[in-house]
């Protein structure tokens, strides 16, 4: 039997901060689009709301604390934690995620900005169909050009190659990371899930526009960090590895036990294309890894904890148990673990999910000091416009997410 800890059973240190229930619930249900700071550097699939992360950080941690995200994804948790004066650790099996976390959380100095501005000013002449481009043969031979190697893509492919060559000439590391992220975001705009391909002229104009937007966001993030009244600026650590076993990493030991673990793991039975773009219809392209200068890990199951075609999702729940056993090992009795999860068939997947949490030594809590209208007493939200449920009815199971809060069981 799964034990649930209700508000009346909690000692004061196990609940939300006084008066925070309403604000946290509102943040969890906020359906505003992802925006602000560096959050729009890339449209990572199934991003969760910065408002929700901010609400969790505000409710369950204090400035100077460590906040951990074991499925870091697009880096939302790391950005929000730093912006609120917390140190952040992100872990993700995807090297693309690690690149984005680094790009979004780096604090650029004036020399970085100057070098980046010079690069940005040259975009118009850098991309020129009459000039040669440098083909990235290693990536091409390894298949990273797949579904972009045809004659209909040669102009955009050449433009991307020329832009990447200009990035690689930048000598300042942080400038290069931001510039590469600009190329990645512009290429995503040009290729991912588009019915028609833009012209090279439109691609250049979009890249210049994107470069300006992202510079402004990087400066906003820097100003936010500088405005914090802290003895030293917050730090962010990003690890490219599976979370299972990560408690043995030296960098993890530095951050653990954290005050808060907040994350959105892959959803059981729901297909999300984390590692590919869809081009020319539904053809999958691994181009984002080539553009980010990273290596792809494997097929979709590598990024989603298991094969969704398995009706019992045995591999998913086995991997979930291995992962959250390590999450529990990182935590102590004062760590709050907050998750946002959705289920394709919640009637059996949610109980199974909670059973796995209990097997990992984690107890579910519902630390609200106000009524929740859902019958099960949990905090649910409708999901705004996600690709993985675009063809479902708005109240279909995959279109709803639930907030789960756990603590390590007291011995």
Contact 122, 131 (CB under 8 A): no
Contact 159, 200 (CB under 8 A): yes
Contact 48, 79 (CB under 8 A): no
Residues in the chain: 411
pLDDT for 161-214, tens place per residue? 999 999 999 999 999 999 999 999 999 999 999 989 999 999 999 999 999 999
In this predicted structure, the answer to whether residue 12 has a pLDDT above a threshold of 70 is no
pLDDT of amino acid 371: 73
All structural domains of the chain? 4-95+236-271+308-408 (3.40.50.150), 110-225 (no CATH)
How would residue 5 be classed by pLDDT, with cut points 50, 70 and 90? Answer: very low
In this predicted structure, the answer to whether residue 349 has a pLDDT above a threshold of 70 is yes
**Burial zone of 45 (CB within 10 Å; 0-12 exposed, 13-18 middle, 19+ buried):** middle
Portion of the chain with pLDDT greater than 70, in percent: 88
Distance from C-alpha of 305 to C-alpha of 48, rounded to nearest angstrom: 18
pLDDT of amino acid 298: 67
Task: Find the range with the poorest average confidence among 123-127, 303-307, 318-322, 385-389.
Answer: 385-389
Distance from C-alpha of 297 to C-alpha of 289, rounded to nearest angstrom: 10
pLDDT for 231-258, tens place per residue? 889 999 999 999 999 999 999 999 999 9
Distance from C-alpha of 314 to C-alpha of 330, rounded to nearest angstrom: 25
Stretch 2-30: mean pLDDT: 62
Peptide bond into 257 cis (omega under 30): yes
pTM (predicted TM-score): 0.91
Largest CA distance in the chain: 72
- What does the H/E/C string look like for the chain? CCCEEEHHHCCHHHCCCCCCHHHHHHHHHCCCCCCCCCHHHCCCCCCCCHHHHHHHHHHHCCCCCEEEECCCCCCHHHHHHHHCCCEEEEEECCHHHHHHHHHHHCCCCHHHHHHHHHHHHCHHHHCCCCCCCCCCHHHHHCCCCCCCCCHHHHHHHHHHHHHHHHHHCCCCHHHHHHHHHHHHHHHHHHHCCCCCCCCHHHHHHHHHHHHHHHHHHHHHHHHHHHCCCCCCCCCEEEEECCCCCHHHCHHHHHHCCCCEEEECCCCCCCCCCCCCEEECCCEEECHHHHHHCCCCCCCHHHHHCCCCCCCCCHHHHHHHHHHHHHHHHHCCCCCEEEEEEECCCHHHHHHHHHHHHHHCCEEEEECCCCCCCCCCCCEEEECCCCHHHCCCCCCCHHHEEEEEEEEECCC
In this predicted structure, the answer to whether residue 310 has a pLDDT above a threshold of 70 is no
How would residue 297 be classed by pLDDT, with cut points 50, 70 and 90? Answer: low
How would residue 363 be classed by pLDDT, with cut points 50, 70 and 90? Answer: very high
Stretch 44-61: mean pLDDT: 90
| Phi and psi torsions of 145, nearest 5° | -90, 5
Distance from C-alpha of 29 to C-alpha of 113, rounded to nearest angstrom: 37
Both tokens of 78, joined, read 């790391």
Distance from C-alpha of 121 to C-alpha of 237, rounded to nearest angstrom: 31
Question: CB-hemisphere CA count at 13 Å for 151?
Answer: 0
Q: Mean pLDDT for the chain? A: 88
**Burial zone of 77 (CB within 10 Å; 0-12 exposed, 13-18 middle, 19+ buried):** buried
Q: How many CB atoms lie within 10 A of CB 303?
A: 23
* Strands 236-240 and 283-285, sheet pairing: unpaired
Stretch 329-349: mean pLDDT: 94
pLDDT of amino acid 1: 41
pLDDT for 262-293, tens place per residue? 999 999 888 777 788 999 888 999 999 999 99
In this predicted structure, the answer to whether residue 52 has a pLDDT above a threshold of 50 is yes
Stretch 291-314: mean pLDDT: 73
């Amino acid at each position: 039997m799964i034990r649930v800890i209700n508000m009346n059973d909690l000692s004061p240190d196990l609940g939300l901060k006084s008066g925070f229930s309403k604000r946290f619930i509102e943040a969890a249900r906020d359906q505003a689009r992802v925006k602000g700071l560096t959050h729009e550097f890339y449209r990572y699939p199934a991003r969760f709301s910065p408002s929700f992360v901010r609400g969790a950080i505000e409710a369950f941690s204090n400035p100077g604390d460590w906040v951990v995200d074991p499925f870091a994804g697009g880096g939302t948790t790391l950005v929000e934690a730093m912006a609120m004066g917390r140190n952040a650790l992100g872990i993700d099996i995807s090297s693309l995620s690690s690149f984005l976390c680094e790009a979004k959380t780096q604090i650029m100095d004036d020399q970085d900005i100057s070098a980046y501005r010079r690069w940005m000013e040259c975009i118009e002449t850098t991309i020129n169909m009459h000039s040669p481009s440098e083909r990235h043969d290693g990536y091409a031979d390894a298949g990273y050009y797949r579904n972009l190697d045809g004659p209909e893509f040669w102009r955009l492919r050449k433009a991307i190659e020329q832009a990447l060559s200009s990035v690689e000439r930048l000598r300042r590391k942080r400038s290069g990371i931001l510039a590469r992220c600009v190329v990645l975001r512009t290429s995503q705009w040009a290729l991912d899930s588009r019915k028609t391909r833009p012209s090279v002229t439109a691609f250049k104009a979009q890249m210049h526009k994107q470069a300006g937007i992202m510079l402004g966001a990087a400066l906003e993030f820097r100003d936010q960090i500088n405005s914090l009244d802290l003895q030293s600026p917050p730090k962010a650590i990003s690890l490219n590895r599976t979370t299972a076993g990560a408690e043995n990493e030296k960098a993890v030991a530095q951050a653990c036990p954290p005050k808060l673990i907040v994350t959105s793991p892959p959803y059981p039975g729901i297909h999300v294309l984390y590692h590919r773009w869809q081009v020319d219809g539904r053809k999958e392209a691994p181009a984002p890894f080539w553009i980010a200068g990273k290596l792809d890990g494997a097929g979709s199951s590598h990024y989603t904890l298991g094969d969704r075609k398995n009706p019992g999702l045995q591999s998913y729940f086995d991997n979930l148990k291995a992962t959250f056993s390590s999450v529990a090992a990182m935590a102590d009795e004062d760590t709050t673990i907050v998750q946002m999860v959705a289920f394709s068939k919640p009637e059996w997947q949610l109980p199974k999910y909670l059973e796995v949490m209990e097997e990992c030594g984690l107890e579910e809590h519902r630390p609200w000091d106000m009524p929740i209208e859902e019958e099960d007493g949990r905090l649910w939200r409708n999901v705004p416009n996600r690709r993985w449920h675009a063809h479902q009815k708005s109240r279909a199971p995959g279109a709803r997410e639930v907030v789960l809060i756990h603590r390590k069981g007291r011995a």
